[in-house]
Structure 1
Amino acid sequence: MGQKIDPRRIALIVEDDFEVRGLAAALLEETDLRVVEMSSAEEALDYLRSHADEVAFLFADVRLPCLMSGVDLARAVRIKWPWVRTVLTSGLAPDEGLSDVPRDVRFMPKPWRALEVLMEAERAAQGYRPA
């Protein structure tokens, strides 16, 4: 009998700044997670609706274009897909609208440290449990 191999899990990056998103993607490609990039919370939600069972890690900026912020996205993800380890990041000062960050969501100020991002991704990969 063969051993069941889980599909490769996903790190979903949601960042509207192309260069910052590319830097995060390059960093996360060094992990065991497959990287998917989005530029808005709405795009990320559309993706999650059909691929949430594969997503282990969400790394999103607080300020995003369109109607939803990264905080809105994090709230939706925590309710609908609680197994997705979620990290929000921002260049904002902690007192600038970040009081609404859900309790179980990690916040990393920009510029973030590569090692911290990698450690969160590793925790996501190890703790991944789809519903």
Structure 2
Amino acid sequence: MDREWGKLSMVVGWAIVVEDDPAVRKLIVDILKDIDLLSLDFDSADEALNYLRSMPDGCPLVIADQVLPGQLQGAEFIKLVKAKWPATATILTSGYELDASIVPYSTTYLAKPWSTDDLVMTVVNLLQPDRPLKKH
């Protein structure tokens, strides 16, 4: 697993991780750290959005679980992020089967349980330096 990651293109930027399960949140943060990506983690989208609003340039990557405590669910949070920062790469995860219409435009959906390799490859594909800023 790890040995293959050395062949991957370098990723740049940082990530916001929104996951209410502490063990899964720590796992995502640790996986991102393994590929040299720093992250800030939150257990609710409400807290994450409040933080992001203080960042004029937003964040290069958002990984959000769909079912979260608080007012905002993952898909709603991602839609708000995309409306303000359209270039933000987004990943939506869920342990529940989601209707495809819930997944916001240009967002990658990863069903739980996802594998470490699935998450790493998705992040790398989204954050490669030559990635176009906007998808149409």
Specify the TM-score bucket, using the shorter chain as the normaliser: 0.7 to 0.9
Kindly indicate whether residue 112 of structure 2 is the aligned counterpart of residue 110 of structure 1.
Answer: yes
Distance (Å, rounded) in 1 between the aligned partners of 2:80 and 2:45:
10
Which one-letter code corresponds to 1:35 in the other structure? S
- Are the structure 2 counterparts of residues 123 and 22 from structure 1 closer, same or farther at C-alpha, using a change threshold of 3 Å? same
Deviations 1:42-72 (A, max 9, x none): 1111121123626211111000001110011
Is the 1:10–1:54 Cα contact (8 Å) retained in structure 2? no
Aligned match of 2:81? 77
Is the 1:91–1:109 Cα contact (8 Å) retained in structure 2? yes
More deviation in 41-50 or 119-128? 119-128
Q: Which structure 1 residue ranges, 4+ long, deviate > 6 Å from structure 2? A: none
- Are the structure 2 counterparts of residues 124 and 54 from structure 1 closer, same or farther at C-alpha, using a change threshold of 3 Å? farther
- Structure 2: tracts of 5 or more residues without a match: 1-11
State the superposition RMSD in angstroms: 2.0
Q: How many aligned residue pairs are there?
A: 121
Is the 2:94–2:111 Cα contact (8 Å) retained in structure 1? yes
Aligned match of 1:33? 37
Is the 2:74–2:92 Cα contact (8 Å) retained in structure 1? yes
Deviations 1:45-100 (A, max 9, x none): 112112362621111100000111001101111111111110000010134xx532
Aligned identity (percent) is: 37
Distance (Å, rounded) in 1 between the aligned partners of 2:41 and 2:66:
15
Q: CA deviation at 1:109?
A: 0.4
